[in-house]
Amino acid sequence: MREDDLTAQEREALAALPREAPPSGLLEERTVRLLENRGLLTRRTRRVFLIGLPQVSAAVAVVVLILASFWLGRWSNAPSTTEAVPSPERVEDLRRLAEEVQRAGSEYILALEAFSRARRGDPRDLEQGREVAATTLRAAADRVIGLAQRRAADGGSREGRPQEQLIWF
């Protein structure tokens, strides 16, 4: 036996070292995105794994927000050009819509808080949850901007009416 040969004890110690270690859960998503960007993987619609109440609440909030956005979009894209002063019905619609958006956003934020506390999901689910959150909040922000513009336009032609205040979440 040469001096630098491993002893049986050394061999045993080296053999006992672990051969595997999991990297962080986000590395898989990072790698998948990189491969998608390089055209090595086919991009597909991300599945959102919904498990538990917080995630369901988030999904419901998203649906409400999308419907409200759709409604607002339809309404604001087809204004009556002959209408110089908004009718009381239109103002009421606008107020109701603002409330819908506000409620949806608030529910969504609450759901996200619960979601972050849950910690029982797969890290991939958390990542996807974050993506959903970012997309939804962007959509909400777009709606708020559109809403504010409409309200400013309507407000200018509604002399004497008290300005309603939209409190965002």
Partner 1 sequence: MDSDDRSLAASLLQSGDEAAFRLLYRRHTPRLFKLVLRLLGGVEFDAEDVVQETWLRACQRLGGFRWESAFSTWLTSIGIHVAQDHLRRRGHSPLTLFSDLPETSDPRQGSRLPIDLEQAIARLPSGFRQVLVLHDIEGWTHGEIAVLLGIAEGTSKSQLSAARQALRLRLREGGPTCAKTI
The contact set with partner 1 (CB under 8 A) reads 4, 6, 9-10, 13-14, 17-24, 27-28, 30-32, 34-36, 38-42, 44
Q: Given the complex with partner 1, which of 38 and 74 has the nearer CB atom?
A: 38
CB 59 → partner 1: shortest distance, Å? 22
Judged by beta carbon, residue 41 or residue 56, the one nearer partner 1 is 41
Residue 169: exposure state from Cβ atoms within 10 A (0-12, 13-18, ≥19) = middle
Number of alpha carbons in the 13 Å side-chain half-sphere of residue 134? 6
Nearest distance from C-beta of residue 47 to partner 1, angstroms: 10
CB of 103 to partner 1, least distance (A): 36
For the bound state, the minimum distance from the C-beta of residue 128 to partner 1, rounded and expressed in Å, comes to 14
Nearer to partner 1, 17 or 78 (CB): 17
